[in-house]
Homo-oligomer: A and B are copies of this chain.
Amino acid sequence: MAEKPWTLDDAQDAVDQWITQWEEGYWDPLCNLARLTEEVGELAREINQTHGEKPAAGPDKPARIADELGDILFVTITLANSLDIDLEKALRATLHKYGIRDRDRFTPRS
């Protein structure tokens, strides 16, 4: 990839530029949530076909887990943008929380 690597902020900007070019703009949070549910469902189908017991039916294309993760990231960013949420800050907060909460839950590598 010759392009300059995206920061999380750049990714939020890129999605914002894409969405604000349309009259429709950002959706209501409940509609974006439904969209996220839909995309997680598509990921579930791909993972079940690749790593689970669900046999691929005739018309299904080969597993496209990367595509589905791209779609999920897109909707997650869309929801964050529509509510003025900084995703890097949110991710750092999650890592900080796990650092505290999971300290005794897993086994450190020796």
Contacts and interface: CB of A to CB of B under 8 A. Distances in A.
Interface of A: 1, 5-9, 11, 14-15, 18, 20-24, 27-31, 33-45, 47-48, 50-55, 57, 65-67, 69-74, 76-77, 79-80, 83, 85-95, 97-99, 101-102, 105-109
A57 B101 contact: yes
A50 B33 CA distance: 13
Given A7-B6, A34-B47, A51-B30, A109 B69 contact: no
* Copies of the polypeptide in the assembly: 4
Contact of A90 (B67, B90, B92): B67
B87 A69 contact: yes
Given A7-B5, A24-B107, A45-B38, A29 B51 contact: yes
Contact of A108 (B22, B37, B45, B92): B22
B40 A28 contact: no
A21 B108 contact: yes
Given A11-B91, A31-B54, A95-B15, A109 B23 contact: yes
A34 B97 CA distance: 20
